[in-house]
Homo-oligomer: A and B are copies of this chain.
Amino acid sequence: MRYFVAVAEELHFGRAAQRLGIAQPPLSRAIRQLERRLGAALLERSSRAVTLTEAGAVLLREARAALDAVEAAERRTRRAALATTGRPGVVLATKAGASSELLAQLLAAYAAEPDAVTVDLLLCGIGEQERMLRDGRADVALLHLPFDTTAGFDTEELCTEGQVVILPAGHPLAGRAQVRTADVTELPDLPMPRWPGRDGSYPDGPGPQARDHAQLFQLIALGRACWIAPESCRTQLREDLAAVPVLDAPPVTTVIAWPPHSRSRAVAGLVRAATPRSHVTVV
């Protein structure tokens, strides 16, 4: 299955074989044998290009999920073994540079619990938290709707906030009490920067390229870009930047998410610490 995913992603037997660290002929045979076992044509080989069939596309999705599940099984078992012999811990995946205040509160609240263990933070790129949770590199994650998808996880809502546009301090719009999306997406002098995708390549289009938040803020301060972000980022803004609420931007909801069959008491503790409201309303 790992083999099939590699070929389906590369759409090229040679490169896929190289990526897998094996030769090309065994890979060809393995795929053919998988096709015979499943009784399904997975790839269309036209001697010049390889394309996925309908069934191949289905298998690609399902196989990714399955491979993530076995990786998660191995990783979580290793961690569980470490936890009994050495220092126990729990891995929390969160977006780099987001919700620092909420995160600090959460960590403080959890640390106050009687059986709290070490919380290892895993700072992820855009949308990487889901993957981390799925393949076991993280035990629990903070996700941001509507950007991330919570499909397949148990979640608990933490907070909802509006979005602001981040502008250079001197910009004409920076004095406004509020703006609308159209006001800032159509600024020819301040285009949205482009972020690298998971493969490290930048999408086409106008706007400068930014690799991280520091670069992003630098670009904005220089008057070369603007950016829309959740309100809570205000606490991290430099002095030469301004934030103006965007009225019609979708509100961002932060949720804490964990794999549905998790029985870890550390994860349960974190979730409990993250949602004190339920206790409050009960009392």
A-to-B contact residues, CB < 8 Å: 1, 38-42, 53-55, 57-59, 61-63, 65-66, 68-70, 72-74, 76-78, 80-81, 83-84, 136, 149, 151-154, 259-261, 263
Q: How distant is the Cα of A154 from the Cα of B151 in the complex, in angstroms? A: 6
* Given A40-B77, A41-B81, A261 and B69 contact (CB-CB distance below 8 Å): no
**Cβ of A69 and Cβ of B62 under 8 Å apart?**
yes
**Cβ of A81 and Cβ of B260 under 8 Å apart?**
no
**Cβ of A38 and Cβ of B261 under 8 Å apart?**
no
Q: How distant is the Cα of A152 from the Cα of B84 in the complex, in angstroms? A: 28
Min CB gap A115→B, angstroms: 15
Min CB gap A1→B, angstroms: 7
* Given A77-B38, A81-B55, A84-B55, A151 and B261 contact (CB-CB distance below 8 Å): yes
Q: How distant is the Cα of A62 from the Cα of B77 in the complex, in angstroms? A: 8
Q: How distant is the Cα of A280 from the Cα of B43 in the complex, in angstroms? A: 42
Min CB gap A226→B, angstroms: 34
**Cβ of A260 and Cβ of B77 under 8 Å apart?**
no
| A72 contact set on B, CB distance < 8 A | 62, 65-66
Query: Majority SS of interface residues in chain A?
Result: helix
| A70 contact set on B, CB distance < 8 A | 1, 66, 69-70
**Cβ of B263 and Cβ of A61 under 8 Å apart?**
yes
Min CB gap A188→B, angstroms: 37
Which residue of chain B is the closest to A61 with respect to CB atoms? Answer: B261
**Cβ of A81 and Cβ of B38 under 8 Å apart?**
yes
Min CB gap A269→B, angstroms: 17
* Known contacts A55-B84, A69-B69; 10 further A-B pairs (Cβ under 8 A): A38-B78, A41-B81, A54-B83, A55-B77, A58-B77, A59-B76, A61-B263, A65-B73, A66-B73, A68-B69
| A153 contact set on B, CB distance < 8 A | 152
Min CB gap A52→B, angstroms: 11
**Cβ of B152 and Cβ of A81 under 8 Å apart?**
no
Min CB gap A74→B, angstroms: 6
Q: Which of A73, A149, A263 has the most CB of B within 10 A?
A: A73
